[in-house]
Amino acid sequence: MAAFPVPKGIASELDTFSFWGVAYVALTPQCSIRFLFHSVRFFPHPQDIRSMTITSVNPATSETLKTFKPLTKDQTIDAIEKADTAYRSWRKTSFDQRKTMMLKFADHLRQHADEYSRLITLDMGKRISESQGEIEYCANIAEFYANGAESFLADEPMQVEGANAFIQYAPLGVLMGVMPWNFPFYQVVRFATPNIMAGNTVMVKHASNVPQCAEAIAEAFAECGLPDGVYTNLFIPSEFVEVIISDSRVQGISLTGSERAGASVAALAGKNLKRSVLELGGNDPFIVLEEADLDETVELAVQGRMVNAGQSCVASKRFIVVEAVADDFLSAFKEKMGNMKMGDPMDEETTLSPL
């Protein structure tokens, strides 16, 4: 697998930012060795699919904000064709061309930060300050890959006696992403931006409860000059994921989600000999030793558990406390948790938002 280095201050050690593609080992100008890298089910009746809707519901008020019609199976296959056609030309664009577009995208995110932050909070309920931080995070990621892709994917010389050898990286084609709702912009941006910069085209099935964010991301890419088909938002039922993975034009699948969803996607990817990347959450321990500063530790423990309203793969899931300080830690922890203020996530005074 070929992977970008992680930008300082942009991602933790638990984040993965990776390319998909083909590597070529060129031994002479006339000769090269090519190798790949990574950096019965039943569908609902067509009438049932037509009657389904994808709905944005405000978790704070239970108000239905907007509804979207899902694509039909035929429309989904047409989208694959469009993405594959776009790949044929996008892969030939220069890094400078891709960089210009991606920097526009980063700038666009910052210019529309208030609008996009509000959409995040309306779709999935996190506090508005967290949504604002997510948009800035995404802009930083887009800039990082825009500025670094050419050097990250430059030819790498190899020491081979009697030959002029090097490794050359090339894109794979159409890639599919299945993204979660907890970070509705960030999860998509970290998947899409490095792969678009590498010359791939991407299709994204976003979580069904954040459709306004899904639509906004696709529109943002289009407004920044990305050609039609290079980034595709798919409003589809989960059943159509199998259609996409099994299509010969789709070269890889990336999923962030549950273990159940990951197992299903992995099985389909294996059956169709497709490359796959799965991020299926975590069970992170928060360990407290006797010499810890208790006030600071409790503050960090509450933050670790409740960041993003607790809906984070790297949130603290288990608290392991040495017996000598266990009672004091638990008492202070319960007090801090009890003081959290649930309310309107648009209100800066709210410290615990609904989801």
The CA distance from 135 to 57, in Å, is 21
- Do 256 and 311 meet the contact criterion of CB atoms below 8 Å apart? no
Indicate if 279 belongs to the active site: yes
Q: Report how many helices (DSSP H) and strands (DSSP E) the chain contains, helices first.
A: 11, 13
- Within a 13 Å sphere around the CA of 344, how many CA atoms are in the beta-carbon half? 5
Nearest of 266, 277, 305, 282 to residue 16 by alpha carbon: 277
- Do 226 and 245 meet the contact criterion of CB atoms below 8 Å apart? no
- Within a 13 Å sphere around the CA of 286, how many CA atoms are in the beta-carbon half? 21
- Do 82 and 232 meet the contact criterion of CB atoms below 8 Å apart? yes
Rg of the chain's alpha carbons, rounded to an integer?
Answer: 22
Choosing from 130, 150, 279, 299, which is the catalytic residue? 279
Nearest of 265, 257, 211 to residue 233 by alpha carbon: 211
Please give the positions annotated as active site: 279
